[in-house]
Amino acid sequence: MFDIGFSELILIGVVALLVLGPERLPGAARVAGLWLGRIKRGFNSIKEDVERELGADDIRRELRNEDILEKERKILKDTAQKAQHILNDKPLDGLSSSITKNSAKIDKEHSS
Q: What percentage of residues in the chain have a pLDDT greater than 90?
A: 24
To the nearest 10°, the Cα dihedral for 25, 26, 31, 34?
A: 140
CA distance 31 to 60: 43
User: Is the model's pLDDT at 86 over the cut of 60?
Assistant: yes
Residue 48 carries which side chain, given as an amino acid letter?
Answer: E
Better-predicted residue by pLDDT, 6 or 109: 6
Classify 2 as helix, strand or coil: coil
0.95 exceeded by pTM: no
Q: What is the pLDDT of residue 51?
A: 86
Residue 69 carries which side chain, given as an amino acid letter?
Answer: L
CA distance 112 to 109: 5
Q: What is the pLDDT of residue 46?
A: 93
Better-predicted residue by pLDDT, 102 or 77: 77
Better-predicted residue by pLDDT, 20 or 104: 20
Phi (first) and psi of residue 2, to 5 degrees? -105, 150
Where in the chain are the domains? 39-112
The string of pLDDT tens digits covering residues 18-57 is 898 889 888 988 998 999 999 999 999 999 988 888 888 8
Residue 83 carries which side chain, given as an amino acid letter?
Answer: A
CA distance 23 to 70: 72
Better-predicted residue by pLDDT, 47 or 4: 47
CA distance 7 to 89: 91
Q: What is the pLDDT of residue 93?
A: 56
Q: What is the pLDDT of residue 41?
A: 95
